[in-house]
Structure 1
Amino acid sequence: MNTFNPWPVFFRREWSRSWPFLTGLAITGYLIAKMTANFTEEDLNQ
């Protein structure tokens, strides 16, 4: 028995509204991770 799976319909409908938020969140997270990965112990103690 196949039951209706609403998730693909939900994601398809909501993607057009939420893609700017998700893209901005991904870029911001990438930049924060990139900047903090360059810190050393000496940089943090200054």
Structure 2
Amino acid sequence: MIYRLFRAETLASVIASFIMMAVELRVLFSAGYFFCLTETPDMIAARTASK
């Protein structure tokens, strides 16, 4: 009986780990995607920042 409990607990922890890994990868990829979409500032912004 105890063996079955440990086996189910191990399986549940593996499934939870894969779910957390999938969420983490999705967050990292979406953050990287938005980081790459930055625009270069125009000349007015560069002039204002230099003062």
TM-score tier by shorter-chain length is 0.5 to 0.7
Aligned to 2:48: none
Corresponding residue pairs, total: 33
Q: Percent identity?
A: 3
1:39 CA displacement: 0.9
> Structure 1 length as normaliser, TM-score?
0.52
Aligned to 2:35: 36
Unaligned ranges ≥5, structure 1: 1-12
> Larger helix proportion, structure 1 or 2?
2
Deviation per CA, 1:1-46: give whole Å up to 9, x if none: xxxxxxxxxxxx553230111000000000000000111342xx6x
For the aligned residues, what is the CA RMSD?
2.6
Higher-Rg member (1/2): 2
> Structure 2 length as normaliser, TM-score?
0.48
Residues 1-46 of structure 1: matches in 2 within 5 Å? Answer: 14-42=13-41
DSSP 3-state at the match of 1:40: coil
